[in-house]
Amino acid sequence: MPILETKNLSKSFGGLKALNNVSIEIDESTLTLIIGPNGSGKSTFINVVSGFIPADSGRVIFDGKDITNKPPNEIYNYGIVRTFQTPQPLKEMTVLENLLIAERHIGESVLNALNYKKWLKMEEELVEKAFKILKFLKIDHLWDRKAGQLSGGQMKLLEIGRALMTNPKLIIMDEPIAGVAPGLAHEIFNHLIKLKERGITLLIVEHRLDIVLKYIDHLYVMFEGEVIAEGRGEKEIEKVLNDPKVLEVYVGD
Ligand code: ADP
Ligand code: MG
């Protein structure tokens, strides 16, 4: 059973069909990549799955449950977290603070502040968890840096760190390496691969195929709101990339 499935998902903006019957299936602990020229509907797809934009029709099934058009906070509680094309950290806060406020149950822990000892213990555990994540991403040395002072690549890592604080089952990422130098881009994907080994599922939109190709398990190609090709595993993915339909949409892109 796939962990995420969409069935005939459609979404129009005025007369424009941004999504036209998009059906995908994503297996647990895999890395799925969606590519496609600008305007293909990739971001719209992510926005619909994560509840930021309602679908006109079709279904989104996650972990066996129908989550179609549920509000983002509810979808988040199912274990789906997303990152944005442009990272949105709180720039005046430090890297560590940005992680602490990303944690799922921070609201509850504030309530628990009435019990001072318990609060201290939770705070301690939270900081420990944040540092583990920062170490994993190799940015622990930046813990007290203001997020607004980070480089583009470091900010992308911080985004991943914030996502990990929520113990997600599925991380959806819109262009995680856009504007990132190749060395750091490979580093980011090496981190993502390790997350996969820990049972986290990754759904990624990215158009720098040269860098990400060797990391992916499953590839979808979108064009004008539709999935035009799909492949699982090295051989099928190779076939997709040589598919005349796919080559054609990339001419002039
Ligand atoms: P991609 O991420 O593949 O570049 P998008 O999903 O951002 O594509 O956009 C798909 C199409 O939908 C584009 O033609 C875009 O202009 C249009 N679109 C996206 N969001 C909106 C919106 N909020 N209002 C109107 N049109 C939109
Ligand atoms: Mg986009």
Residue 107 scores a pLDDT above 60:
no
Instruction: Dump pLDDT digits (tens) for 43-77.
Output: 999 999 999 999 999 999 999 999 999 999 899 89
What is the pLDDT at residue 45?
97
Residue 43: CB within 6 Å of ligand 1?
A: yes
Residue 39: CB within 6 Å of ligand 1?
A: yes
What is the pLDDT at residue 207?
79
Residue 161: CB within 6 Å of ligand 1?
A: no
| Ligand 1 probe mutation, 9, 11, 12, 16, most atoms within 8 A of CB | 16
Quickly state the pLDDT bin for 104 (edges 50, 70, 90). low
Average pLDDT over residues 21-33: 97
Residue 209 scores a pLDDT above 90:
no
Q: How far is the CA of 18 from the centre of ligand 1 (A)?
A: 6
Residue 44: CB within 6 Å of ligand 1?
A: yes
| Domains of the chain in sequence order | 2-89+166-250 (3.40.50.300), 91-149 (no CATH)
Helix ranges restricted to H, the chain:
42-49, 72-77, 95-100, 106-111, 116-136, 152-164, 182-197, 209-212, 233-241, 244-250
Quickly state the pLDDT bin for 103 (edges 50, 70, 90). confident
* Across 26-30, 83-87, 167-171, 197-201, least confident range: 83-87
Q: Residue with the nearest Cα to atom 5 of ligand 1?
A: 41
Residue 16: CB within 6 Å of ligand 1?
A: yes
Q: What is this structure's pTM?
A: 0.91
* Edge-to-edge order in the sheet of strand 31-35: 80-83, 170-174, 201-205, 31-35, 218-223, 226-232
Average pLDDT value over all residues in the chain = 90
Instruction: Dump pLDDT digits (tens) for 151-175.
Output: 888 999 999 999 999 999 999 999 8
Q: Are strands 218-223 and 226-232 parallel, antiparallel or unpaired?
A: antiparallel
pLDDT-above-90 percentage for the chain: 72
Hunting for tokens 């029709």 — which residue is that? 57
Q: How far is the CA of 174 from the centre of ligand 2 (A)?
A: 7
ipTM over 0.90: yes
